[in-house]
Amino acid sequence: MTSLWPRLEPLLPRVEKPARYIGCEDGARTDIYKPEATSWLLTYPDTYEIGLPNQGLQILYELLNERPDAFAERSYAPWTDLEAEMRRARLPLFSVDTHRPAAEFDIIAFNLSAELVYTNVLNCIDLAGLRVRASERDDSDPLVGAGGHCAYNPEPLADFVDFFVMGDGEEVISEITDIVGAWRVTGKPSGSRDTVLHALARIDGVYVPSMYNVVYDGPKLVSVEPRHSDVPPIIQKRTVADLADWPYPRNQLVPLTEVVHDRLNVEVFRGCTRGCRFCQAGMITRPVRERPASQIREMVSKGLERTGYDEVSLTSLSTADFSDIEKVVSDTIDEPGTCGRVSIALPSLRVDAFTVGVAAQVSRARRTGLTFAPEAGSWRMRQIINKLITEDDLYGAVRSAYSQGWHRMKLYFLTGLPSEMDDDTLGIAELVQNCVEIGQEYTKKASVTVSLGGFVPKPHTPFQWFGQNEPEELQRKVDLLRSKVRRNKRIQLKWHSPGASTAEGITSRGDRRIGRAIEYVWRRGGVFQEWSEHFDLALWQEAMNASGLSLEWYVHRHREEDEVLPWDHIHAGLHKDFLWQDWQDALAGYGLEDCRWTPCYDCGACTEYGIEHVVASPAPPNGGSQGTGQDLATGHLVPVELRPRAGIGGT
Ligand code: SF4
């Protein structure tokens, strides 16, 4: 086994945070190298601190390392200081577990959780010593794979990645390992790379871009069609039916240095059917699959004992929606041996599910930060995005929190939403000011941090047809809100760069031609584009011009109903006509109920795959508020006009 450690170690005193590169975490595997086994290098294309806690990566790491005929190690994007040292010393990308060179692995697989990391993906492939374009790599090179939420529009990276995985990776990685393992046994003979890619393309949930022809008519995409009759025209996502079968990670990694989400993370459910129309994660991860409460208790108990953490995060897309959340929280706090010192983080909270009961349970332990996401400042706007929470819901949750001893909280909002008007933006200021006033009834220290993001329409959502606001317009809205809250010292406003939202727009809904712009930005040093100190909108604009691509076409224009979208050949379970109808309902102001508790709308996520929601409770745990809204003029609760429940899917 080749270890690059003797060459890496002398470079570390010269770089920031050298602990990023040494591995040695509790839970890491350094004993798993097997020369005859199929090897994966699971790579997170951002810094170690961001990538280490990623649960998807840790789950696959454990699953692969349980196989006798495979093993997995991890890699993270080196920060720019180490990259410069590595290039100077001709040191390639390495695993942090055993410091083997990336090119010695059979598969380098990237986790794509944000579009702005795409240039880092190219940089890591290049640092591994491979050609960045997939068509120029040969039989001896590792296969380059990718998965994660952004893979649901794989086209912008299609020229650089050999295969993509759609959906839950737990089962499919095993099938990929079998095929690559068989290829390995043959010694990867000359000319066989295409054959193994062809075999991968026949696995459900795997997309191999080189097996598909793309046809354009001017700027318009006409089709993405398979080159072989045995390769599927539509790639179906993979979904694990029951989380109870996958109690992973069992051995969460405990880092030696500070990372984000540095606590025990236990996934309590996957999927969300609240139907927020801007939310890609909610749409593509349907249906809801709750983990049994007894398994959560066991994972918490064993995890705390093994890791020594004193904080547990119960993760999901909307944790307070979990059936019997109060009991799970109280069991966690009362975990034997912790003396009530364990604190709970509930990272994704809906205000209509955060009751005094939940607040009281959480506040029994050390209080962690509290974040709510009303998303929009007016009822009209929340109806359009289908986030059907009333002002009373928000104020109730805020009151619950302040009454149980919290002093500050964070509220997330979006701007640049479809049909947004200045009144909607100014409504944010009013909501937040009212929250501060409620807090001051309980404590003079009450404060609220507002986090404002620029809305980027995402594939596989009802808003995928919407033309994104230009950066100047987003900035104007930010300034409008700033001017309104500036004088209130109890409100702190933070906002996401409108320029970064524009670059995210280029990469999120781009077709295969956008790869040229990504490569252009990378070749001119544009890495770590998620980081404000490295982000440069002018470079993206220059890249689009140099590639002959129009920002207006890719980002700011509305799409037509019959337009072929770059991700139409990827099926996230949702029927396109369901999404279009939901887009029309949004514009007409219709809401859509949470199908966990109502008859099915036949969006396709369950019906297409013969699976169902897995929820313990037959009714909303906290009553929910779907079905009522607040009249802006009178402030009274009024019924929300909900879309009829007949199934509308089918194509
Ligand atoms: S198929 Fe029906 S029950 Fe399943 S997520 Fe879609 S609307 Fe809900």
CATH of residue 48's domain is 3.40.50.2300
Cα(81) to ligand 1 centroid in Å equals 48
Cα(279) to ligand 1 centroid in Å equals 16
Q: Which of 269, 274, 317, 595 to mutate to test the pocket of ligand 1 (most atoms within 8 A of CB)?
A: 595
- The reported pLDDT for the residue numbered 650 is 35
- The reported pLDDT for the residue numbered 358 is 72
Q: Which of 285, 600, 615 to mutate to test the pocket of ligand 1 (most atoms within 8 A of CB)?
A: 600
Q: Are residues 412 and 383 in the same domain?
A: yes
User: Which residue puts its alpha carbon closest to atom 6 of ligand 1?
Assistant: 603
User: Which residue puts its alpha carbon closest to atom 7 of ligand 1?
Assistant: 601
Mean pLDDT value of segment 357-381: 80
- pLDDT, tens digit (0-9, with 9 covering 90-100), for 230-242: 999 999 999 999 9
Instruction: Please determine, for residue 158, whether its predicted confidence score (pLDDT) is greater than 90.
Output: yes
Mean pLDDT value of segment 281-297: 95
- Answer whether residue 620 is part of any domain: no
Q: How far apart are CA 119 and CA 443, in angstroms?
A: 46
Cα(569) to ligand 1 centroid in Å equals 21
Cα(289) to ligand 1 centroid in Å equals 12
- Answer whether residue 249 is part of any domain: no
Parallel/antiparallel/unpaired status of strands 38-44 and 70-76: parallel
pLDDT band (50, 70, 90) for residue 318: confident
Using the atom order of ligand 1, give the atom closest to the CA of residue 604. 1
Q: Are residues 77 and 107 in the same domain?
A: yes
> Which range marks the domain in which residue 99 is found?
5-236
Q: Are residues 345 and 402 in the same domain?
A: yes
Cα(314) to ligand 1 centroid in Å equals 24
Q: Which of the 8 DSSP states describes residue 591?
A: B
Q: How far apart are CA 645 and CA 359, in angstroms?
A: 34
Least confident window among 288-297, 568-577, 637-646: 637-646
Please state the domain count of the chain: 2
- Answer whether residue 533 is part of any domain: no
- Residue 250 tokens, joined: 């069992």
Mean pLDDT value of segment 28-34: 83
The length of the chain is 651
Q: Which of 270, 284, 598, 602 to mutate to test the pocket of ligand 1 (most atoms within 8 A of CB)?
A: 602
Cα(602) to ligand 1 centroid in Å equals 5
Q: Which of 201, 236, 271 is the last residue in one of the domains?
A: 236
- Residue 257 tokens, joined: 């240095």
Amino acid letter, 640: V
Q: Are residues 83 and 43 in the same domain?
A: yes
pLDDT band (50, 70, 90) for residue 321: confident
- Residue 450 tokens, joined: 């507002």
pLDDT band (50, 70, 90) for residue 277: very high
* Residue 339 vs residue 313, higher pLDDT: 313
Q: How far apart are CA 500 and CA 537, in angstroms?
A: 7
Q: Are residues 356 and 503 in the same domain?
A: yes
User: Which residue puts its alpha carbon closest to atom 8 of ligand 1?
Assistant: 595
Residue bearing tokens 């332990």: 365
- Answer whether residue 244 is part of any domain: no
- The reported pLDDT for the residue numbered 621 is 54
Instruction: Please determine, for residue 327, whether its predicted confidence score (pLDDT) is greater than 90.
Output: no
User: Which residue puts its alpha carbon closest to atom 4 of ligand 1?
Assistant: 606
Mean pLDDT value of segment 203-215: 98
User: Which residue puts its alpha carbon closest to atom 3 of ligand 1?
Assistant: 600
Q: How far apart are CA 235 and CA 204, in angstroms?
A: 7
- The reported pLDDT for the residue numbered 206 is 98
> Average pLDDT of the chain?
91
Q: Are residues 225 and 267 in the same domain?
A: no
Q: Which of 272, 288, 606, 612 to mutate to test the pocket of ligand 1 (most atoms within 8 A of CB)?
A: 606
> End-to-end alpha-carbon separation of the chain, Å?
51
DSSP string, 416-479: S-TT--HHHHHHHHHHHHHHHHHHHTT-TT-EEEEEEEE----TTSGGGGSPPPPHHHHHHHHH
- The reported pLDDT for the residue numbered 236 is 97
- The reported pLDDT for the residue numbered 287 is 94
Instruction: Please determine, for residue 639, whether its predicted confidence score (pLDDT) is greater than 60.
Output: no
- The reported pLDDT for the residue numbered 599 is 84
Angle between helices 498-508 and 537-546 (to 10 degrees): 40
> What residue ranges in 218-359 does DSSP mark as E strands?
220-226, 235-236, 264-267, 269-270, 289-290, 311-315, 343-345
- Answer whether residue 172 is part of any domain: yes
- Answer whether residue 531 is part of any domain: no
Using the atom order of ligand 1, give the atom closest to the CA of residue 286. 5
Q: Are residues 11 and 83 in the same domain?
A: yes
Q: Which of the 8 DSSP states describes residue 522?
A: H
Using the atom order of ligand 1, give the atom closest to the CA of residue 595. 8
Cα(572) to ligand 1 centroid in Å equals 12
- The reported pLDDT for the residue numbered 76 is 98
Cα(557) to ligand 1 centroid in Å equals 30
Least confident window among 173-177, 247-251, 399-403: 399-403
Q: How far apart are CA 148 and CA 158, in angstroms?
A: 15
Q: Which of 577, 603, 614 to mutate to test the pocket of ligand 1 (most atoms within 8 A of CB)?
A: 603
Q: Which of 274, 601, 645, 648 to mutate to test the pocket of ligand 1 (most atoms within 8 A of CB)?
A: 601
Cα(603) to ligand 1 centroid in Å equals 5
Pocket around ligand 1: residues whose beta carbon is below 6 Å from it? Answer: 273, 286-287, 595, 600-607
Q: Are residues 277 and 412 in the same domain?
A: yes
- pLDDT, tens digit (0-9, with 9 covering 90-100), for 587-635: 998 888 898 888 899 999 998 888 889 887 656 655 444 444 444 344 4
Q: How far apart are CA 537 and CA 554, in angstroms?
A: 15
Cα(222) to ligand 1 centroid in Å equals 30
Instruction: Please determine, for residue 205, whether its predicted confidence score (pLDDT) is greater than 70.
Output: yes
* Residue 367 vs residue 61, higher pLDDT: 61
CATH number (domain holding residue 320): 3.80.30.20
Q: Are residues 53 and 89 in the same domain?
A: yes
Cα(604) to ligand 1 centroid in Å equals 6
Q: Are residues 232 and 260 in the same domain?
A: no
CB 110 within 8 A of CB 43: yes
Mean pLDDT value of segment 287-311: 93
Cα(598) to ligand 1 centroid in Å equals 9
- Residue 148 tokens, joined: 């994660």
Q: pTM for the whole thing? A: 0.93
Cα(152) to ligand 1 centroid in Å equals 19
- The reported pLDDT for the residue numbered 400 is 87
- Residue 263 tokens, joined: 């606590």
Q: Are residues 291 and 180 in the same domain?
A: no
Rounded to 5°, the CA angle 177-605-412 comes to: 95
Instruction: Please determine, for residue 651, whether its predicted confidence score (pLDDT) is greater than 50.
Output: no
User: Which residue puts its alpha carbon closest to atom 2 of ligand 1?
Assistant: 600
Q: Are residues 228 and 260 in the same domain?
A: no
% of the chain beyond a pLDDT of 90:
78
- Answer whether residue 632 is part of any domain: no
Cα(142) to ligand 1 centroid in Å equals 39
- The reported pLDDT for the residue numbered 332 is 81
Mean pLDDT value of segment 373-385: 94
- pLDDT, tens digit (0-9, with 9 covering 90-100), for 392-444: 989 998 998 898 888 889 999 999 999 999 999 999 999 999 999 999 999 99
Using the atom order of ligand 1, give the atom closest to the CA of residue 287. 5
Instruction: Please determine, for residue 582, whether its predicted confidence score (pLDDT) is greater than 60.
Output: yes
Cα(169) to ligand 1 centroid in Å equals 21
- Residue 102 tokens, joined: 């990336």
Q: How far apart are CA 536 and CA 497, in angstroms?
A: 11
Burial category of 262 from C-beta neighbours within 10 Å (exposed 0-12, middle 13-18, buried 19 and up): middle
Q: Which of 588, 605, 635 is the last residue in one of the domains?
A: 588
Q: Which of 284, 607, 643 to mutate to test the pocket of ligand 1 (most atoms within 8 A of CB)?
A: 607
Cα(647) to ligand 1 centroid in Å equals 9
pLDDT band (50, 70, 90) for residue 338: low
- Answer whether residue 74 is part of any domain: yes
Omega of the bond prior to 287 within 30 degrees of 0, cis?
yes
CB 240 within 8 A of CB 170: yes
Using the atom order of ligand 1, give the atom closest to the CA of residue 601. 7
Rounded to 5°, the CA angle 412-153-192 comes to: 145
